[in-house]
Structure 1
Amino acid sequence: MANSKKPCYADWVFKPCACILALLILAASISASAEPLVLPIAASQDYAYSYKDFLNRHGGSPYSIDDFAGTTRGVTSLVLMQQAARIGGMPFEVNVLESPNPGRAMLLVKQGKAAAFASDMWQNEFDDTVIMSPPVVRKGEFEKGIYGLRENSALMAVRSLKELRTFSTAVDLTWQRDIETLTAMGIHTITKVPRYELMIRVVGGHRTDFIIAEFANVNHDFSFTAYGVKLYPVPGVKIVIPHSRHFMFSKKHPMGARLAKAVNCGMKQLRKQGRIRKALEQCGFINTGVAKWKQIYP
């Protein structure tokens, strides 16, 4: 009788291993071909263009960016959010949901139509429908200049809060922290307008004297041009809004809590490495050029 072939040790050891290996390769292939996670992120008007333009100028991916020169704090914040989320194990792509102003955009987050707000928000904007991250902008870091037309020589000569109180200002009616600050400063005439564009235009049209704005880092004199109007800071003076700003995530959106957990985890590492402060300095939000300017409020 012919000898029956004995099972080879390699057959029963390596065949299952080969099967497992094949399954792992298949799983990796499926994962690689899966659609990337895309989340709705609420933002004010024109934000999508600024964000996409910045990414395109830096290779298209937010994760490799380490130089934030030439963009705004808002765009910088969203890129930092994505970098933190990736560190926390939840990389995502952005689908910007645009609204006429930040207040309307924030409402999308609170209603659960957006997973998060694109930029950082003042602490007082949070309620029980949203989740607050650790601070992106820490208390004392948010400085603003007094911006007006250069030909307004009386405004440009202001050197104290007492002198500034005699001038008029305009502010977006949804910017509650700015309104509170201007009121606390004792500014007598505060015109509230429905969007940022009108803030610029009423100054350009000589209907109000100034706005408070983050220092621009485009020109050596910190001037900036928006909607055809060029505004200059009153030289040598600045104010501080003494509150912190945080990322806002929706409790009602199905991915909001997961995103918050990932971002909060990643922010700890970014903060420890000094990357948040560095990014805010690079984009000009924390402006070393005005470090010695006189703080007239608070």
Structure 2
Amino acid sequence: MKWCLFFLFSSFYVQAQAPLVVDIISSENFSLRYEEFLDGRSVLDVEDFHPSTKGSHIEIIEMVLLQQALHLGGEQRKVIFNPKPSVNIIEFSDLIAGESLVLARSTWHEDLLDYKGSLFVSEPLVEYGEYEAGFYVAKRNIALHNMPAERLNQLTVVANPRWKVDWRALNNTDVNIVSFIGPWETMLEMVETEIVDAMLVNFSVSQSLVLNFEGREYVPINELKLFLPDSRHFVVSKRHPDGKRVFAALNKGLAILKERGILRKALTESGFINEKVAPWHMVNEAMLMRGIQ
């Protein structure tokens, strides 16, 4: 009888301590950049969120904040990141089926509206109005660097209509939108070769705001920005056996991070909320004032 009870207890303990698997995008080097950012630190000890690698930093910060929120919410299991090629900004099939538990990236609220019956949606990581972007042009295209807002009706901007939030933001400006459904890298190539003038990109973490991609440099049009009209959230599968428990811990932890000011600190220090462009003119400000969502 004692051996039976010991076996049951041991089995329960092993199950309880099984790692928590979180999906990330395998097509990006997030895992490598994440380890470089930690630089030997425990993820729970991270208090400085300044970038240590080139490129967008928000993906790495989200991996950190997700784990800190889970821990603060009472989820003590170790997190293991699982690279999956199927995971992208609008792919939720594995989550809906319960084959995946949670994504390491936040998602636009608009992209989740049709899936709320199958997915738990966290409190916002990025609030409505916080996500800002610039009109990035080729650095060598000097004539566009200081284009005034009054001339935006002469600017051609490439955009993917499937990126609903970007598309809606641009449609509330005077720019001429060139529709393109394809890789982000190809859109940058269209800017480089001057097929179009610009592309909407969240501001670079570099001091000069320069975006360097494969040896080519792009800069935002000076003094102009727009906000993307939506909030961003973590999502958890409702059909996964751990879904309800993990979602409760995540939401509780996010509330603590927000109350302590850590969410805002992380988004600001990482460069996602870029203080360098705080005084710049918001070309779609009317959307913010009307609270269009």
Query: TM-score when scaled to structure 1?
Result: 0.80
Whether 2:273 is the aligned partner of 1:286: answer yes
Higher strand proportion (structure 1 or 2): 1
Which of the residues 134, 138, 154 maps onto 1:149? 138
- Within the candidate set 234, 238, 246, 2:221 is matched to 234
Following superposition, the deviation at residue 47 of structure 1 comes to: 4.6
Tell me whether 1:261 sits opposite 2:248 in the alignment: yes
Query: Deviations for 1:91-140, whole angstroms, at most 9, x for unmatched residues?
Result: 43132333377345444333433212222111111122211111111122
CA deviation digits over 1:46-97, x for unaligned, max 9? 053355334542x153211111111611221121011000111114313233
Query: Are 1:84 and 2:72 an aligned pair?
Result: no
Q: Secondary structure of 1:136's match?
A: coil
| Deviation digits for residues 149-207 of structure 1 (CA, Å, limit 9, x no counterpart) | 122233222221x5223222223454221122222324333232322222222222322
The equivalent residue for 2:291 is none
2:152 is matched with 164
**2:158 aligns to what SS in structure 1?**
strand
Change in Cα spacing, 1:210 to 1:297, as seen in structure 2 (3 Å) is same
In the alignment, is the contact (CA less than 8 A) between 2:106 and 2:125 conserved in 1?
Answer: yes
Summarize the Cα distance change of 1:124–1:134 in structure 2 as closer, same or farther, 3 Å threshold: same
- The 8 Å contact of residues 224 and 283 in structure 2, kept in 1 or not, is answered as yes
Which runs of 5 or more residues in structure 2 are unaligned?
A: 286-293
Within the candidate set 126, 129, 133, 2:118 is matched to 129
Distance of aligned partners of 1:272 and 1:103 in 2 relative to their CA distance in 1, 3 Å threshold = closer
Contact 1:50–1:75 (Cα < 8 Å) also in 2: no
Pair 1:75-2:75 in alignment: no
Runs of 4+ with deviation above 4 angstroms:
30-36
Contact 2:34 2:60 in 1 (8 A): no
Alignment RMSD (CA, Å) = 2.8
Q: Does the C-alpha gap of structure 1 residues 263 and 54 become closer, same or farther in structure 2, counting only changes over 3 Å?
A: farther
Unaligned runs of 5+ in 1: 1-22
TM-score normalised per structure 2? 0.81
Aligned length: 271
Structure 2 residue 194 is matched with structure 1 residue 209: no
Structure 1 residue 41, shift from structure 2 partner: 1.5
Determine if the alignment matches structure 1 residue 138 to structure 2 residue 123: no
Structure number, greater radius of gyration: 1
